[in-house]
Amino acid sequence: MSRKKSVSAEDELVFLPLGGSNEIGMNFNCYGFGPPDDRKWIIVDVGVTFGDQTTPGVEIILPDPEFIEQYADDILGIVLTHAHEDHIGAMGWLWPRLKAPIYATPFTAFLLREKMRERGCLEGADITETPLGGTVILGPFEVTYVTLTHSIPEPNGLAIKTPLGTILHTGDWKIDPDPLLGDVTDSDAISRLGDEGILAMVCDSTNVFVDGVAGSEAEVRVKMNALIGSLKGKVAVACFASNVARMDTVIRAAEANGRRVCLVGRSMHRMAAAAASVGLFKGHSPFVNDAEAGKYGDNEILYLCTGSQGEARAALARIADGTHPHVRLGKGDHCVFSSRVIPGNEIPIRNLQNNLADRGVRLYTERDHPGIHVSGHPCRDELKQMYAWARPKIAVPTHGERRHLLEHVALAQDLQIGQAIAPRNGDMVRLAPGRAEIIDEVPAGRLYVDGGVITAENGEALRERRHASHSGVLMVSVVLDGRGRIVSGPQVRGIGLPTDVETPLEDIFDELADEVEDTIRRLGDGQRDDDDQVEQAVSRQLKRASHRVWGRRPIVETTVLRV
């Protein structure tokens, strides 16, 4: 039922994704209400994604808040659905540009405070802990938390009631009849919303191509207990630290088989603290410190590790390359990967697993041991059930790449949903009044965290790094006197350039130095007096020569000194 408030003829209800549509991760969703020139806004989730081989040196990628930042005074609140990085990870970086009140359930709020404390912006933040099932009034928006199940404690959908209709924003979810930690999906609440009338459902699309259901955490517990009980020697289990139910499953399986548990990795300790803060992890033996774990027999210890995605600095990577200060795995030991491969991480995961195998460690993955991992996102049968409960007039797929969103549209149409629209990041969708349609396109890009500094997506530093990684770098120095004559050099050196046994790089560099010398001597007197003109001429010549020698044009750094 819509909120009791007069509606003017100019009022509109709009949905604007600035992250998370046409991609999996980096969720950043905006809802606006009011006339086009005077909208009030709420933001749902402010997440990150992570760099890969295409962004050398960049580990964290943020949604660009440029558009909504212009209306910071009109942002009534930031509402967080759950505590995964792709939903809250950008808060510490972007909140200072938005400075709106924040609303989250207790587990999410605990982790959020830690993140904002690390970034030095906690003191100024207004964070309100909202109980599960609670309601927040933000101007024309009445936001009620709806309990769902996912792969982290306290996952919530949001029922966003406005004078022009109700939106069900699902966040990330699945239907798990036995989630082990937390309550089951509140299907009654969703059905009641459906009875009242849901204008639009903005819904997770991650597993839209997967038939059936994602599976229950209870099934994983049975499989994990049996697997760990069958192993002799040291055992390591890698999983997402945010999957507290999975952590609990591994801990229980270890204890049931006479093993103490050692948490390895900062994120594991952080999540354990967050879980304890909301009353989870009760009844377990105290965790063993990694410095003390070596005192236990090989059959008496289990290491619960971060790094299932091959992250270079995570605990498991350091164990695999032998640099962890306390944990060693070798022949006769075991490593269980209770996680999926996130697209884009195939290469680092393969390298990690090869390193472990090379040490004699036996590996177990969901591919060869089905049931040791289940997804946290809805498959097709679960999506069909959600639509049966909610019965929205408009389907708005999100949390997916383009192919996921379009397949979700097709599914919604097959389910007789009257309207379905798949926006890209930056597409402003008018949900009411009238039929749903894209009415505007606003800036929606990415920001890179590069060396702790926020930089533009196509900033010069990253462009140069990509260029250097592909084509290498040449450095040339030359000393000229006051009349532009060569006093010393040129000297040419390079990084990342190929050679062979027959032609050493030093010989090639000497030949390039001769060409640089000839280039400088051919310049006119006025040109040799101008350092910029000398540098430009040298750079052009070296790039031409490099293309002749190597078939590529490296970055050229020229230093001209005067005596």
Which residue type occupies 476?
V
Q: Among the listed ranges 236-250, 339-353, 429-443, which one has the minimum average pLDDT value?
A: 339-353
In a domain, 387, yes or no: yes
474 to 478, 494, 539: CA distances (angstroms): 13, 4, 9
pLDDT for res 425: 97
| Mean pLDDT, range 211-240, rounded to an integer | 96
Distance, CA of 333 to CA of 356 (rounded, Å): 10
CB 470 within 8 A of CB 462: no
pLDDT for residue 1 is more than 50 = no
Q: What is the pLDDT of residues 203-224, one digit of tens each?
A: 999 999 999 999 999 999 999 9
**Quick check: is 169 in a domain?**
yes
pLDDT at 142 over 70: yes
Give the closest residue to 305 by CA, choosing from 351, 373, 237.
237
Cis omega (within 30 of 0) on the bond before 106?
no
The reported pLDDT for the residue numbered 273 is 92
Let me know: does 214 contact 382? Beta carbons within 8 Å: yes
Indicate whether 196 and 227 sit together in one domain: no
Give residue 5's pLDDT: 62
In Å, how far from its chain's centre is CA 344? 11
> Do 28 and 122 fall within a single domain?
yes
What's the average model confidence in pLDDT over 25-29?
A: 95
Query: Three-state DSSP class for 548?
Result: helix
Tens-place pLDDT, residues 297-323: 999 999 999 999 998 889 999 999 999
Taking CA atoms, 172 is separated from 138, 266, 330, 372, 377, in Å, by 23, 24, 38, 21, 6
Quick one: 397 and 494 in the same domain? no
**DSSP states of 374-415 as a string?**
--SS--HHHHHHHHHHH--SEEEEESB-HHHHHHHHHHHHHT
Instruction: Report which of residues 331 and 59 the model is more confident about.
Output: 331
On the question of pLDDT at 432 being above 60, the answer is: yes
Q: What is the DSSP letter of 162?
A: E
Please provide the DSSP assignment of 77-136 as one string: EEE-----HHHHTTHHHHHHHH---EEE-HHHHHHHHHHHHHTT-STT--EEE--TT-EE
Task: Tell whether 369 is covered by a domain.
Answer: no
Residue 191 has pLDDT above 90, yes or no: yes
CA dist 46 and 93 (Å) reads 10
CATH of the domain at 539: 3.10.20.580
In 3-state terms the chain splits into helix, strand, coil percentages (rounded to 5) of 35, 25, 40
Find the CATH number of the domain harbouring 327: 3.40.50.10710
Domain end call among 456, 491, 514: 456
Question: What confidence tier does 530 reach under pLDDT thresholds 50, 70, 90?
Answer: confident
Domain end point (choices 364, 386, 406): 364
Query: For residue 2, what pLDDT is reported?
Result: 42
Q: Which two tokens stand for residue 139?
A: 């101007």
Q: So what's the pLDDT on residue 50?
A: 86
221 and 127 belong to one structural domain: no
Final residue of a structural domain among 425, 456, 487: 456
Question: How many domains are there within the chain?
Answer: 3
Whether residue 87 sits in one domain with residue 25: yes
CA angle 44, 50, 51 (to 5 degrees): 145
Percent of the chain residues past pLDDT 70, beyond the cut: 99
* In-domain check, residue 467: no
This prediction's pTM: 0.88
- Mean per-residue pLDDT of the chain: 92
Q: Assess if residue 29 is contained within a domain.
A: yes
Q: State yes or no: pLDDT of 551 exceeds 90.
A: no
272 within 8 A of 247, measured Cβ to Cβ: yes
Q: Are residues 141 and 250 in the same domain?
A: no
R_g of the chain, CA atoms, integer Å: 28
Given a cut of 80, whether residue 369 has pLDDT beyond it is yes
Instruction: Say yes or no: 298 and 223 in one domain.
Output: yes
Strand arrangement of the beta sheet that strand 555-562 belongs to: 486-495, 473-480, 555-562
Strand boundaries in 408-523, DSSP class E: 419-420, 427-432, 437-441, 446-450, 453-456, 473-480, 486-495
Kindly report the CATH number assigned to the domain that includes residue 34. Answer: 3.60.15.10
Q: Is residue 78 part of a domain?
A: yes
In this prediction, residues 245-266 reach a mean pLDDT of: 96
Residue 208 and residue 79 in one domain: yes
Domain containing 318 equals: 217-364
pLDDT tens, residue by residue, 277-303:
988 888 889 999 999 999 999 999 999
435-461 average pLDDT score: 90
Contact between 527 and 560 under an 8 Å Cβ cutoff? The reply is no
The string of DSSP codes covering 25-56 is S--EEEEEEE-TTS-EEEEEEE--EE--TTST
| pLDDT range class, residue 373, cuts 50, 70, 90 | very high
Q: Is residue 370 part of a domain?
A: no
Q: Are 23 and 49 in contact (CB under 8 A)?
A: yes
Residue in 391, 435, 384 with CA at minimum distance from that of residue 417: 391
Is the CB of residue 335 less than 8 Å from the CB of residue 308? no
Please state, in angstroms and as integers, the Cα–Cα distance from residue 372 to each residue in 49, 75, 212, 224, 234, following that order. Answer: 25, 43, 18, 6, 18
Condensed to tens digits (0 to 9), the pLDDT of residues 484-515 reads 788 887 888 888 888 776 778 888 888 888 88
Shared domain check, 98 and 247: no
Nearest to 126 by CA among 98, 95, 100: 100
Is 1 inside a domain boundary?
A: no
If asked whether residues 124 and 179 sit together in one domain, one would say yes
Tell which residue, 369, 383, 378, has the closest CA to residue 201. 383
pLDDT above 90 (res 517): no
pLDDT at 75: 98
**Same-domain pairing of 422 and 288:** no
Do residue 49 and residue 178 come from a single domain? yes
